[in-house]
A and B are shown apart, each in its own frame.
Chain A
Amino acid sequence: MDRMYLRRARNLVMSVMCMASAVVVIIPLVMILFYVAADGLRAINWGFFTNLPKPVGETGGGMANAIAGTFTMVTLATGLSLPVGLMAGIYLSEFGRGRLREAVRFLTDVLNGVPSIITGIFVYVLVVVAMGRYSALAGSVALGIIMIPIITRSTEEMLRMVPKSLREASLALGATEQQTVVKIVLRSASGGIVTGVMLAVARAAGETAPVLFTALNNRYWNQGLDQPIASLAVFIYTYGISPFEDWHSQAWGAALVLVVMVLFLNITARLVVRARQGR
Protein backbone atom coordinates (compact mmCIF):
# COMPACT_ATOMS: atom_id res chain seq x y z
CA MET A 1 0.00 0.00 0.00
CA ASP A 2 2.70 2.42 1.08
CA ARG A 3 4.61 1.77 -2.09
CA MET A 4 1.62 2.54 -4.19
CA TYR A 5 1.16 5.93 -2.53
CA LEU A 6 4.84 6.63 -2.88
CA ARG A 7 4.67 5.78 -6.55
CA ARG A 8 1.64 7.95 -7.06
CA ALA A 9 3.27 10.84 -5.26
CA ARG A 10 6.38 10.51 -7.36
CA ASN A 11 4.28 10.37 -10.48
CA LEU A 12 2.45 13.50 -9.46
CA VAL A 13 5.62 15.46 -8.65
CA MET A 14 7.09 14.40 -11.97
CA SER A 15 4.11 15.45 -14.05
CA VAL A 16 3.75 18.75 -12.21
CA MET A 17 7.42 19.52 -12.81
CA CYS A 18 7.15 18.70 -16.50
CA MET A 19 4.04 20.78 -16.86
CA ALA A 20 5.66 23.71 -15.05
CA SER A 21 8.66 23.51 -17.36
CA ALA A 22 6.39 23.46 -20.37
CA VAL A 23 4.77 26.65 -19.12
CA VAL A 24 8.17 28.24 -18.55
CA VAL A 25 9.00 27.44 -22.16
CA ILE A 26 6.00 29.22 -23.57
CA ILE A 27 5.99 32.22 -21.21
CA PRO A 28 8.73 34.11 -23.09
CA LEU A 29 6.98 33.44 -26.40
CA VAL A 30 3.64 34.67 -25.14
CA MET A 31 5.23 37.74 -23.56
CA ILE A 32 7.18 38.58 -26.69
CA LEU A 33 4.07 38.29 -28.82
CA PHE A 34 2.11 40.33 -26.30
CA TYR A 35 4.59 43.21 -26.02
CA VAL A 36 5.31 43.31 -29.72
CA ALA A 37 1.63 43.34 -30.51
CA ALA A 38 0.74 45.91 -27.86
CA ASP A 39 3.45 48.40 -28.78
CA GLY A 40 3.60 47.53 -32.45
CA LEU A 41 -0.09 47.91 -33.23
CA ARG A 42 0.00 51.57 -32.16
CA ALA A 43 2.61 52.39 -34.77
CA ILE A 44 0.90 50.56 -37.56
CA ASN A 45 -1.37 52.23 -40.05
CA TRP A 46 -1.76 52.07 -43.79
CA GLY A 47 1.01 54.58 -44.45
CA PHE A 48 3.38 52.42 -42.47
CA PHE A 49 3.22 49.80 -45.22
CA THR A 50 3.26 52.13 -48.22
CA ASN A 51 5.56 55.04 -47.34
CA LEU A 52 9.30 55.40 -47.19
CA PRO A 53 10.90 56.50 -43.91
CA LYS A 54 10.66 60.25 -43.25
CA PRO A 55 13.71 62.38 -42.41
CA VAL A 56 14.42 63.09 -38.76
CA GLY A 57 12.00 65.61 -37.32
CA GLU A 58 9.09 64.84 -39.62
CA THR A 59 6.41 62.59 -38.21
CA GLY A 60 4.83 59.65 -40.00
CA GLY A 61 6.62 57.75 -42.68
CA GLY A 62 6.75 54.02 -43.13
CA MET A 63 8.92 51.08 -43.89
CA ALA A 64 7.69 49.86 -47.26
CA ASN A 65 11.27 49.63 -48.48
CA ALA A 66 12.34 47.59 -45.44
CA ILE A 67 9.54 45.07 -45.95
CA ALA A 68 10.44 44.77 -49.60
CA GLY A 69 14.11 44.51 -48.69
CA THR A 70 13.66 41.70 -46.20
CA PHE A 71 11.41 39.94 -48.65
CA THR A 72 13.92 40.30 -51.49
CA MET A 73 16.91 39.17 -49.49
CA VAL A 74 15.19 36.25 -47.81
CA THR A 75 13.77 35.05 -51.13
CA LEU A 76 17.15 35.30 -52.78
CA ALA A 77 18.88 33.66 -49.82
CA THR A 78 16.35 30.82 -49.92
CA GLY A 79 16.92 30.45 -53.65
CA LEU A 80 20.64 30.15 -53.00
CA SER A 81 20.54 27.88 -49.95
CA LEU A 82 17.57 25.63 -50.62
CA PRO A 83 19.05 23.56 -53.47
CA VAL A 84 22.41 23.26 -51.75
CA GLY A 85 20.98 22.51 -48.31
CA LEU A 86 18.43 20.05 -49.63
CA MET A 87 20.90 18.12 -51.73
CA ALA A 88 23.52 18.11 -49.00
CA GLY A 89 20.87 16.73 -46.63
CA ILE A 90 19.97 14.04 -49.15
CA TYR A 91 23.64 13.21 -49.52
CA LEU A 92 24.13 12.87 -45.77
CA SER A 93 21.11 10.66 -45.28
CA GLU A 94 20.94 8.60 -48.49
CA PHE A 95 24.18 8.43 -50.41
CA GLY A 96 27.00 9.44 -48.09
CA ARG A 97 29.42 6.78 -46.87
CA GLY A 98 32.22 6.63 -44.38
CA ARG A 99 34.71 9.39 -43.64
CA LEU A 100 33.49 11.90 -46.19
CA ARG A 101 29.98 11.83 -44.78
CA GLU A 102 31.25 12.23 -41.23
CA ALA A 103 33.39 15.15 -42.35
CA VAL A 104 30.52 16.86 -44.16
CA ARG A 105 28.21 16.38 -41.21
CA PHE A 106 30.76 17.71 -38.75
CA LEU A 107 31.55 20.76 -40.87
CA THR A 108 27.85 21.47 -41.31
CA ASP A 109 27.48 21.51 -37.55
CA VAL A 110 30.48 23.79 -37.24
CA LEU A 111 29.00 26.14 -39.84
CA ASN A 112 25.74 26.09 -37.91
CA GLY A 113 27.63 27.16 -34.80
CA VAL A 114 29.53 30.03 -36.40
CA PRO A 115 28.21 33.28 -34.90
CA SER A 116 26.28 35.10 -37.60
CA ILE A 117 28.37 38.24 -37.21
CA ILE A 118 31.41 36.23 -38.31
CA THR A 119 29.53 35.09 -41.38
CA GLY A 120 28.76 38.77 -42.00
CA ILE A 121 32.43 39.75 -41.80
CA PHE A 122 33.37 36.86 -44.05
CA VAL A 123 30.90 37.92 -46.73
CA TYR A 124 31.99 41.52 -46.25
CA VAL A 125 35.55 40.58 -47.12
CA LEU A 126 34.58 38.21 -49.89
CA VAL A 127 31.77 40.08 -51.62
CA VAL A 128 31.46 43.65 -50.36
CA VAL A 129 35.15 44.46 -50.65
CA ALA A 130 35.39 42.71 -53.99
CA MET A 131 32.34 44.50 -55.41
CA GLY A 132 33.35 47.77 -53.88
CA ARG A 133 29.98 48.41 -52.26
CA TYR A 134 27.31 47.10 -49.94
CA SER A 135 24.59 45.28 -51.81
CA ALA A 136 21.40 43.26 -51.58
CA LEU A 137 23.30 40.43 -53.18
CA ALA A 138 25.94 40.37 -50.47
CA GLY A 139 23.21 40.40 -47.83
CA SER A 140 21.49 37.47 -49.51
CA VAL A 141 24.73 35.52 -49.69
CA ALA A 142 25.31 36.05 -45.98
CA LEU A 143 21.77 34.98 -45.11
CA GLY A 144 22.05 32.02 -47.48
CA ILE A 145 25.21 30.82 -45.75
CA ILE A 146 23.39 31.01 -42.43
CA MET A 147 20.46 29.03 -43.82
CA ILE A 148 22.41 26.21 -45.51
CA PRO A 149 23.43 24.21 -42.42
CA ILE A 150 19.97 24.54 -40.87
CA ILE A 151 18.32 23.19 -44.01
CA THR A 152 20.95 20.50 -44.46
CA ARG A 153 20.71 19.06 -40.99
CA SER A 154 16.94 19.25 -40.69
CA THR A 155 16.55 17.62 -44.12
CA GLU A 156 18.95 14.87 -43.10
CA GLU A 157 17.11 14.25 -39.83
CA MET A 158 13.74 14.13 -41.54
CA LEU A 159 14.93 11.77 -44.27
CA ARG A 160 16.47 9.43 -41.72
CA MET A 161 13.16 9.23 -39.95
CA VAL A 162 11.51 7.68 -43.01
CA PRO A 163 11.30 3.99 -42.13
CA LYS A 164 13.43 1.47 -43.97
CA SER A 165 10.33 -0.53 -44.78
CA LEU A 166 9.12 2.21 -47.15
CA ARG A 167 12.41 2.33 -49.00
CA GLU A 168 12.35 -1.45 -49.32
CA ALA A 169 8.75 -1.41 -50.53
CA SER A 170 9.75 1.02 -53.23
CA LEU A 171 12.88 -0.85 -54.30
CA ALA A 172 10.96 -4.14 -54.35
CA LEU A 173 8.52 -2.58 -56.81
CA GLY A 174 11.43 -2.04 -59.16
CA ALA A 175 12.10 1.60 -58.38
CA THR A 176 15.66 2.81 -58.81
CA GLU A 177 17.42 4.35 -55.83
CA GLN A 178 16.90 7.76 -57.32
CA GLN A 179 13.17 7.21 -57.82
CA THR A 180 12.93 5.90 -54.28
CA VAL A 181 14.58 9.00 -52.86
CA VAL A 182 12.54 11.46 -54.90
CA LYS A 183 9.13 9.82 -55.02
CA ILE A 184 8.95 8.03 -51.69
CA VAL A 185 11.50 9.27 -49.19
CA LEU A 186 11.39 12.98 -49.98
CA ARG A 187 7.65 12.93 -50.29
CA SER A 188 7.16 11.15 -46.99
CA ALA A 189 9.47 13.62 -45.28
CA SER A 190 8.17 16.74 -47.02
CA GLY A 191 6.30 18.04 -43.98
CA GLY A 192 9.36 17.94 -41.77
CA ILE A 193 11.61 19.33 -44.48
CA VAL A 194 9.33 22.30 -45.02
CA THR A 195 9.32 22.96 -41.30
CA GLY A 196 13.11 22.96 -41.32
CA VAL A 197 13.23 25.35 -44.27
CA MET A 198 10.77 27.62 -42.48
CA LEU A 199 12.98 27.65 -39.42
CA ALA A 200 15.87 28.72 -41.61
CA VAL A 201 13.75 31.42 -43.27
CA ALA A 202 12.62 32.74 -39.90
CA ARG A 203 16.19 32.79 -38.70
CA ALA A 204 17.37 34.65 -41.82
CA ALA A 205 14.55 37.18 -41.65
CA GLY A 206 15.58 38.16 -38.14
CA GLU A 207 19.36 38.33 -38.64
CA THR A 208 20.71 41.83 -38.14
CA ALA A 209 24.47 41.83 -37.70
CA PRO A 210 25.39 40.02 -40.93
CA VAL A 211 23.02 42.24 -42.89
CA LEU A 212 24.58 45.40 -41.44
CA PHE A 213 27.95 44.18 -42.69
CA THR A 214 26.78 43.27 -46.16
CA ALA A 215 23.59 44.99 -47.30
CA LEU A 216 23.90 47.96 -44.94
CA ASN A 217 20.69 49.96 -45.08
CA ASN A 218 18.84 52.26 -47.42
CA ARG A 219 16.36 54.98 -46.66
CA TYR A 220 14.96 54.76 -50.17
CA TRP A 221 13.89 52.02 -52.53
CA ASN A 222 16.59 49.62 -53.53
CA GLN A 223 18.05 50.47 -56.95
CA GLY A 224 19.17 46.98 -57.91
CA LEU A 225 20.64 43.88 -56.38
CA ASP A 226 24.12 45.41 -56.49
CA GLN A 227 22.99 48.34 -54.33
CA PRO A 228 22.45 48.68 -50.58
CA ILE A 229 19.02 47.62 -49.41
CA ALA A 230 16.87 48.19 -46.34
CA SER A 231 15.61 45.36 -44.16
CA LEU A 232 13.20 45.05 -41.25
CA ALA A 233 15.87 43.78 -38.88
CA VAL A 234 18.22 46.68 -39.55
CA PHE A 235 15.26 49.07 -39.48
CA ILE A 236 14.36 47.81 -36.01
CA TYR A 237 17.98 48.12 -34.92
CA THR A 238 18.57 51.66 -36.15
CA TYR A 239 15.19 52.97 -35.04
CA GLY A 240 15.42 51.16 -31.74
CA ILE A 241 18.71 52.78 -30.73
CA SER A 242 17.69 56.22 -31.99
CA PRO A 243 16.88 58.94 -29.45
CA PHE A 244 13.42 59.68 -30.89
CA GLU A 245 10.25 58.51 -29.23
CA ASP A 246 8.23 58.06 -32.44
CA TRP A 247 11.10 56.09 -34.01
CA HIS A 248 10.98 53.68 -31.07
CA SER A 249 7.33 53.22 -31.70
CA GLN A 250 8.01 52.54 -35.39
CA ALA A 251 10.64 49.97 -34.41
CA TRP A 252 7.95 48.13 -32.46
CA GLY A 253 5.73 48.31 -35.50
CA ALA A 254 8.46 46.81 -37.68
CA ALA A 255 9.01 44.08 -35.11
CA LEU A 256 5.35 43.19 -35.24
CA VAL A 257 5.42 43.04 -39.03
CA LEU A 258 8.47 40.78 -38.93
CA VAL A 259 6.88 38.41 -36.45
CA VAL A 260 3.64 38.25 -38.40
CA MET A 261 5.48 37.69 -41.66
CA VAL A 262 7.38 34.73 -40.27
CA LEU A 263 4.28 33.30 -38.62
CA PHE A 264 2.28 33.69 -41.81
CA LEU A 265 4.95 31.96 -43.89
CA ASN A 266 5.10 29.15 -41.40
CA ILE A 267 1.38 28.54 -41.40
CA THR A 268 0.98 28.71 -45.18
CA ALA A 269 3.84 26.29 -45.70
CA ARG A 270 2.26 23.82 -43.32
CA LEU A 271 -1.12 24.15 -44.98
CA VAL A 272 0.41 23.56 -48.38
CA VAL A 273 2.15 20.42 -47.18
CA ARG A 274 -0.98 19.15 -45.49
CA ALA A 275 -3.09 19.79 -48.58
CA ARG A 276 -0.59 17.95 -50.75
CA GLN A 277 -0.45 14.99 -48.43
CA GLY A 278 -4.16 14.86 -47.82
CA ARG A 279 -4.86 14.14 -51.47
Chain B
Amino acid sequence: MLHGMKVRDLNAWYNDNHVLKNINLHLMGGKITALIGPSGCGKSTFIRCLNRMHEVIRGGRVRGEVWLEGENIYGRRVDAVMIRRRIGMVFQKPNPFPTMSILENAVSGVCLHESLNTNGLAERAEEALRQAALWEEVKYRLDDPAVSLSGGQQQRLCIARALAVKPEVLLMDEPCSALDPASTLRIEELMAELKKTYTVIIVTHNMQQAARVADHTAFVYQGEVVEDGPTSEIFTAPKDPRTEGYITGRFG
Protein backbone atom coordinates (compact mmCIF):
# COMPACT_ATOMS: atom_id res chain seq x y z
CA MET B 1 0.00 0.00 0.00
CA LEU B 2 1.41 3.38 -1.01
CA HIS B 3 1.54 6.19 1.47
CA GLY B 4 -0.88 9.03 1.12
CA MET B 5 -0.61 12.40 2.78
CA LYS B 6 -2.95 14.02 5.26
CA VAL B 7 -3.05 17.80 5.50
CA ARG B 8 -4.41 19.26 8.71
CA ASP B 9 -5.19 22.91 9.41
CA LEU B 10 -2.48 24.11 7.07
CA ASN B 11 -1.85 27.85 6.89
CA ALA B 12 0.79 29.62 4.87
CA TRP B 13 2.00 33.20 4.62
CA TYR B 14 4.25 35.35 2.48
CA ASN B 15 5.34 37.84 5.12
CA ASP B 16 1.95 39.16 6.31
CA ASN B 17 0.00 37.93 3.34
CA HIS B 18 -2.07 34.99 4.54
CA VAL B 19 -2.47 32.90 1.37
CA LEU B 20 -3.51 29.45 2.63
CA LYS B 21 -6.25 29.26 5.22
CA ASN B 22 -6.94 26.18 7.30
CA ILE B 23 -6.56 23.60 4.60
CA ASN B 24 -7.66 20.07 5.39
CA LEU B 25 -7.20 17.49 2.70
CA HIS B 26 -6.49 13.82 2.29
CA LEU B 27 -4.18 12.99 -0.60
CA MET B 28 -4.67 9.32 -1.31
CA GLY B 29 -1.78 6.92 -1.77
CA GLY B 30 -1.28 5.42 -5.22
CA LYS B 31 -3.69 7.87 -6.76
CA ILE B 32 -3.39 11.04 -8.77
CA THR B 33 -4.85 14.08 -7.08
CA ALA B 34 -5.34 17.21 -9.16
CA LEU B 35 -5.45 20.69 -7.68
CA ILE B 36 -7.45 23.15 -9.74
CA GLY B 37 -8.43 26.74 -9.15
CA PRO B 38 -8.10 30.25 -10.54
CA SER B 39 -4.71 31.93 -10.88
CA GLY B 40 -3.33 33.24 -7.62
CA CYS B 41 -5.57 31.09 -5.42
CA GLY B 42 -2.60 29.38 -3.78
CA LYS B 43 -2.12 26.10 -5.64
CA SER B 44 1.63 26.49 -6.06
CA THR B 45 1.99 27.64 -2.49
CA PHE B 46 0.05 24.61 -1.30
CA ILE B 47 2.03 22.08 -3.30
CA ARG B 48 5.26 23.66 -2.09
CA CYS B 49 4.07 23.25 1.49
CA LEU B 50 3.86 19.52 0.90
CA ASN B 51 7.62 19.10 0.64
CA ARG B 52 8.68 22.03 2.75
CA MET B 53 9.77 24.14 -0.20
CA HIS B 54 7.61 27.06 0.90
CA GLU B 55 9.95 27.96 3.72
CA VAL B 56 12.80 28.35 1.20
CA ILE B 57 11.22 31.58 -0.01
CA ARG B 58 12.17 34.64 2.01
CA GLY B 59 9.17 35.60 4.10
CA GLY B 60 7.55 32.20 3.63
CA ARG B 61 5.92 30.81 6.79
CA VAL B 62 3.80 27.72 7.46
CA ARG B 63 1.65 26.56 10.34
CA GLY B 64 -0.21 23.30 10.52
CA GLU B 65 0.43 19.63 10.00
CA VAL B 66 1.15 17.47 6.98
CA TRP B 67 1.30 13.76 7.71
CA LEU B 68 3.20 11.26 5.63
CA GLU B 69 3.07 7.68 6.84
CA GLY B 70 2.43 8.55 10.46
CA GLU B 71 4.99 11.34 10.54
CA ASN B 72 4.23 15.05 10.62
CA ILE B 73 6.66 16.60 8.15
CA TYR B 74 6.41 19.85 10.10
CA GLY B 75 7.21 18.04 13.32
CA ARG B 76 9.85 19.60 15.49
CA ARG B 77 12.53 17.01 14.95
CA VAL B 78 11.97 16.56 11.23
CA ASP B 79 14.70 17.58 8.81
CA ALA B 80 13.34 19.35 5.73
CA VAL B 81 16.16 17.91 3.63
CA MET B 82 15.12 14.35 4.47
CA ILE B 83 11.51 15.15 3.64
CA ARG B 84 12.42 16.49 0.22
CA ARG B 85 14.21 13.24 -0.54
CA ARG B 86 10.98 11.36 0.11
CA ILE B 87 8.74 13.83 -1.68
CA GLY B 88 9.98 14.74 -5.14
CA MET B 89 8.95 17.80 -7.09
CA VAL B 90 8.66 18.80 -10.74
CA PHE B 91 8.34 22.48 -11.56
CA GLN B 92 6.29 24.41 -14.05
CA LYS B 93 9.24 25.38 -16.20
CA PRO B 94 11.71 22.61 -17.07
CA ASN B 95 14.83 23.35 -15.03
CA PRO B 96 17.58 20.84 -15.81
CA PHE B 97 21.03 21.79 -14.54
CA PRO B 98 22.58 23.54 -17.55
CA THR B 99 26.18 22.65 -16.79
CA MET B 100 25.45 18.94 -16.60
CA SER B 101 24.94 16.29 -19.23
CA ILE B 102 21.72 14.33 -19.62
CA LEU B 103 23.16 11.46 -17.61
CA GLU B 104 24.53 13.71 -14.88
CA ASN B 105 21.17 15.43 -14.60
CA ALA B 106 19.32 12.15 -14.27
CA VAL B 107 21.48 11.07 -11.34
CA SER B 108 22.14 14.49 -9.84
CA GLY B 109 19.83 13.78 -6.92
CA VAL B 110 21.08 10.25 -6.42
CA CYS B 111 24.66 11.49 -6.15
CA LEU B 112 23.66 13.64 -3.21
CA HIS B 113 22.34 10.84 -1.09
CA GLU B 114 23.99 7.61 -2.10
CA SER B 115 27.51 6.67 -3.05
CA LEU B 116 27.13 4.43 -6.05
CA ASN B 117 29.88 3.51 -8.49
CA THR B 118 29.70 4.46 -12.15
CA ASN B 119 27.84 1.28 -13.06
CA GLY B 120 25.31 1.69 -10.31
CA LEU B 121 24.70 5.25 -11.37
CA ALA B 122 24.30 4.30 -15.01
CA GLU B 123 21.74 1.65 -14.05
CA ARG B 124 19.86 4.09 -11.89
CA ALA B 125 19.85 6.64 -14.70
CA GLU B 126 18.52 4.13 -17.21
CA GLU B 127 15.80 3.00 -14.84
CA ALA B 128 14.67 6.56 -14.16
CA LEU B 129 14.87 7.62 -17.81
CA ARG B 130 12.79 4.60 -18.81
CA GLN B 131 10.20 5.43 -16.18
CA ALA B 132 10.06 8.97 -17.51
CA ALA B 133 9.62 7.63 -21.06
CA LEU B 134 12.75 9.38 -22.24
CA TRP B 135 15.24 6.53 -22.50
CA GLU B 136 14.65 5.62 -26.13
CA GLU B 137 15.19 9.21 -27.22
CA VAL B 138 18.40 9.85 -25.31
CA LYS B 139 20.16 6.53 -24.89
CA TYR B 140 22.71 7.34 -27.61
CA ARG B 141 23.40 10.85 -26.41
CA LEU B 142 23.60 10.59 -22.64
CA ASP B 143 26.70 12.78 -22.52
CA ASP B 144 25.15 15.67 -24.43
CA PRO B 145 24.31 18.76 -22.40
CA ALA B 146 20.81 18.65 -20.96
CA VAL B 147 19.94 21.98 -22.52
CA SER B 148 20.31 20.44 -25.98
CA LEU B 149 16.99 18.65 -25.42
CA SER B 150 13.61 20.03 -26.44
CA GLY B 151 11.37 21.57 -23.80
CA GLY B 152 9.22 18.45 -23.50
CA GLN B 153 12.28 16.24 -23.26
CA GLN B 154 13.78 18.53 -20.64
CA GLN B 155 10.63 18.26 -18.58
CA ARG B 156 10.73 14.47 -18.78
CA LEU B 157 14.39 14.65 -17.77
CA CYS B 158 13.33 16.65 -14.73
CA ILE B 159 10.76 13.96 -13.94
CA ALA B 160 13.46 11.31 -14.32
CA ARG B 161 15.75 13.29 -12.05
CA ALA B 162 13.06 13.37 -9.37
CA LEU B 163 12.21 9.67 -9.81
CA ALA B 164 15.85 8.54 -9.65
CA VAL B 165 15.92 9.48 -5.97
CA LYS B 166 13.08 6.96 -5.46
CA PRO B 167 10.66 9.22 -3.64
CA GLU B 168 7.33 8.09 -2.22
CA VAL B 169 5.34 11.05 -3.45
CA LEU B 170 5.72 13.09 -6.63
CA LEU B 171 4.50 16.68 -6.71
CA MET B 172 4.03 18.34 -10.09
CA ASP B 173 3.25 22.03 -10.45
CA GLU B 174 1.74 22.61 -13.89
CA PRO B 175 4.26 20.24 -15.49
CA CYS B 176 2.78 20.63 -18.95
CA SER B 177 2.16 24.34 -19.16
CA ALA B 178 5.32 24.98 -21.18
CA LEU B 179 4.77 22.03 -23.51
CA ASP B 180 3.06 21.31 -26.80
CA PRO B 181 0.08 18.92 -27.03
CA ALA B 182 2.22 15.95 -28.07
CA SER B 183 4.62 16.32 -25.15
CA THR B 184 1.68 16.94 -22.84
CA LEU B 185 0.12 13.68 -23.97
CA ARG B 186 3.34 11.80 -23.28
CA ILE B 187 3.56 13.20 -19.79
CA GLU B 188 -0.08 12.37 -19.12
CA GLU B 189 0.52 8.78 -20.20
CA LEU B 190 3.54 8.82 -17.96
CA MET B 191 1.50 9.95 -14.97
CA ALA B 192 -0.93 7.09 -15.42
CA GLU B 193 2.06 4.77 -15.33
CA LEU B 194 3.62 6.50 -12.33
CA LYS B 195 0.64 6.15 -10.05
CA LYS B 196 1.30 2.44 -9.85
CA THR B 197 4.43 3.20 -7.85
CA TYR B 198 3.97 6.71 -6.55
CA THR B 199 1.44 8.98 -4.99
CA VAL B 200 1.09 11.80 -7.49
CA ILE B 201 -0.20 15.31 -6.87
CA ILE B 202 -0.53 17.66 -9.80
CA VAL B 203 -1.48 21.30 -10.19
CA THR B 204 -3.14 22.12 -13.47
CA HIS B 205 -4.97 24.92 -15.19
CA ASN B 206 -6.23 22.59 -17.81
CA MET B 207 -9.51 21.09 -16.71
CA GLN B 208 -9.57 18.51 -19.45
CA GLN B 209 -6.21 17.37 -18.19
CA ALA B 210 -7.50 17.06 -14.64
CA ALA B 211 -10.50 15.14 -15.91
CA ARG B 212 -8.29 12.84 -17.99
CA VAL B 213 -5.60 11.94 -15.49
CA ALA B 214 -6.80 12.56 -11.96
CA ASP B 215 -8.59 10.10 -9.70
CA HIS B 216 -9.27 12.77 -7.19
CA THR B 217 -9.68 16.52 -7.62
CA ALA B 218 -9.57 19.39 -5.16
CA PHE B 219 -10.82 22.86 -6.01
CA VAL B 220 -8.85 25.66 -4.38
CA TYR B 221 -10.31 29.13 -4.19
CA GLN B 222 -8.83 32.16 -2.44
CA GLY B 223 -6.55 30.07 -0.29
CA GLU B 224 -9.13 27.52 0.78
CA VAL B 225 -10.07 24.07 -0.41
CA VAL B 226 -13.68 24.62 -1.33
CA GLU B 227 -14.44 21.09 -2.37
CA ASP B 228 -12.70 17.84 -3.07
CA GLY B 229 -13.74 14.40 -4.16
CA PRO B 230 -13.54 11.86 -6.96
CA THR B 231 -12.80 13.67 -10.20
CA SER B 232 -15.98 12.52 -11.90
CA GLU B 233 -18.11 13.91 -9.10
CA ILE B 234 -16.32 17.25 -9.01
CA PHE B 235 -16.79 17.70 -12.71
CA THR B 236 -20.32 16.36 -13.09
CA ALA B 237 -21.98 17.11 -9.78
CA PRO B 238 -20.12 19.85 -7.88
CA LYS B 239 -21.70 20.61 -4.55
CA ASP B 240 -20.42 24.13 -4.10
CA PRO B 241 -21.63 26.90 -6.42
CA ARG B 242 -18.09 28.30 -6.61
CA THR B 243 -16.76 25.00 -7.94
CA GLU B 244 -19.52 24.87 -10.45
CA GLY B 245 -18.84 28.45 -11.48
CA TYR B 246 -15.19 27.69 -12.03
CA ILE B 247 -15.56 24.48 -14.00
CA THR B 248 -18.26 25.90 -16.19
CA GLY B 249 -15.94 28.79 -16.93
CA ARG B 250 -17.95 31.55 -15.33
CA PHE B 251 -14.88 32.89 -13.51
CA GLY B 252 -11.20 32.18 -12.91
- Point out residues on A near B: beta carbons under 8 Å: 163, 165-166, 168-176, 179, 183-184, 187-188, 190, 277-279
Q: Assuming A166-B95, A172-B91, A174-B165, what are 14 further A-B pairs, CB within 8 angstroms?
A: A165-B93, A166-B97, A168-B95, A169-B97, A169-B158, A170-B97, A171-B56, A171-B84, A172-B84, A173-B108, A173-B112, A173-B165, A190-B99, A277-B99
Q: Which of A165, A171, A179 has the most CB of B within 10 A?
A: A171
- Separation of A277 and B109 alpha carbons in the complex (Å): 19
The 8 closest A-B pairs by CB, nearest first: A174-B85, A173-B109, A172-B89, A165-B95, A174-B84, A169-B95, A277-B99, A175-B112
Query: In the complex, are the beta carbons of B101 and A279 less than 8 A apart?
Result: yes
The answer on a CB contact under 8 Å between A175 and B97 is no
Can you give 18 A-B contacts (C-beta < 8 A)? A169-B91, A169-B96, A170-B108, A171-B84, A172-B51, A172-B91, A173-B84, A174-B82, A174-B85, A174-B109, A174-B165, A175-B81, A175-B109, A175-B112, A176-B81, A179-B112, A187-B97, A277-B99
Q: Does B12 contact A (CB under 8 A)?
A: no
Q: Which of A168, A169, A188 has the most CB of B within 10 A?
A: A169
* Chain A, interface SS category: helix
Q: Which of B88, B91, B112 is most buried by chain A, counting CB atoms within 10 A of its CB?
A: B112
A169 to B157, CA, bound (A): 12
Instruction: Tell whether A172 pairs with B53 under 8 Å between CB atoms, given A165-B93, A279-B101.
Output: yes
**Residue B252 at the chain A interface, CB threshold 8 Å:** no
CB neighbours of B88 from chain A (8 A): 172-173
In angstroms, Cα B97 to Cα A190, docked, is 13
B95 and A278: CB pair below 8 A?
no
Contact, CB under 8 Å: A278 / B145? yes
Answer yes or no: B98 CB below 8 A from chain A CBs: yes
On chain B, the residues within 8 Å of A176 by CB distance are 81
- The distance from the CB of A195 to the nearest CB of chain B, in whole angstroms, is 15
Looking at the assembled complex, report how far the CB atom of B230 sits from the nearest CB atom of chain A, in whole angstroms.
Answer: 29
Residue of A nearest to B85 (CB): A174
A188 and B98 contact, CB distance less than 8 A: yes
CA distance A165 to B158 in the complex (A): 12
CB distance from B173 to the nearest CB of A (A): 10
A174 touches B99 (CB 8 A): no
CA–CA, A261 and B143, complex, Å = 34
Closest chain B CB from A219 CB (angstroms): 48
**Cβ-based interface call for B113 (8 A):** yes
Q: How far is the CA of A278 from the CA of B144 in the complex (A)?
A: 8
Considering the complex, which residues of chain B in the window 87-136 have a beta carbon less than 8 Å from any beta carbon of chain A?
A: 88-89, 91, 93, 95-99, 101, 108-109, 112-113
Known: A174-B113, A175-B112. A165 touches B97 (CB 8 A): no
B161 beta carbon closer than 8 Å to chain A: yes
- Indicate if B214 sits at the interface (CB-CB under 8 A): no
Q: Which residue of B lies closest to A174 (CB)?
A: B85
Contact call B99/A188, Cβ cutoff below 8 A: yes
Cβ–Cβ < 8 Å partners of B158 in chain A: 169
